[in-house]
Amino acid sequence: MKKKLIGFSVAGALLLGSAGAYASTNSKTLEVFYNVKNIKINQVSKMPEDKPFTYNGTTYVPLRYISEELGYPVEWDSPNQTINIGKTSEKSAFYPGRDLEYMNFQNSTSNNSYKYSYNKDTISDNIGNKYSNYITISNIWGEEWSLLEFPLNGQYSTFKSVLGLTENGKNLPKPLTLEVFLDEKLIETYTVSAGDMPQEIEFKLKNVNKIGFKLSSQSSGAYTSVGLFDARFYK
């Protein structure tokens, strides 16, 4: 068994491979063991150029190597100090919570609510898909409406999203309606029922100054919540 003393910052770099570089002002020397002779993925032997090592009973393998061998790209998001594995946000897209903030929320009762997030937490749709970019609108007592608006100022050309029920709102007694308004003009109406699969939606926004999403529900005493998952705008 081979052993070697390495710097702590080098160990961090090995975990990520070439996805990013680490610098350490408080370096620490570690004793590690190069006792991994082979790695098999789907019964095929594949060893990375940066050799795996063991430290304190844990084996460390380059993250980029393992992820890409399993079919998941790896990206280092330096501004946010985040490692992205698999699907990442589109660089040409603009997201609520990062690039846009809401301008108005109206409802028929103060119990109704909205939420939107960009990579801060995760939410699930009614079939278990998880999203970290989303808009949700919720009506608490049923026979109500809520309107959420975002300013666009004529800067965007397209909106794309996946429309569906949230996990918390999937037991829907009666269908709900989501209306989309561009400059207060109704341009699309979606009906969502319990058991519906999430659907991709898209519409054009040329010269539009604001967009509004209005949720209307019919079921008295029932919690209803709809999600615009992976909601994004394009210029």
CATH number at residue 129: 2.60.120.1060
Mean pLDDT value across residues 67-82: 67
C-alpha 235/C-alpha 232 separation (Å) is 10
- Are 174 and 61 within one domain? no
Percent over 70 (pLDDT), the chain: 78
Mean of pLDDT values over 122-137 = 94
Count of domains for the chain: 2
Tens digit of pLDDT for each residue in 153-198?
999 999 999 999 999 888 888 899 999 999 999 999 999 999 999 9
Pairing of strands 210-216, 185-192: unpaired
* Interval 119-148 mean pLDDT: 90
Nearest to 103 by CA among 153, 59, 154: 153
Do both 133 and 63 map to the same domain?
A: no
Question: In terms of residue numbers, what domain contains 228?
Answer: 93-234
> For 17-56, how does the pLDDT look when each residue is reduced to its tens digit (9 = 90+)?
444 434 445 566 777 777 888 888 778 787 877 778 888 8
Instruction: Judge if 17 and 74 occupy the same domain.
Output: yes
Cα 54 from Cα 35, distance rounded (Å): 7
Compute CA 94 distance to the chain's CA centroid, rounded to the nearest angstrom.
13
Residues 72 and 161 in one domain: no
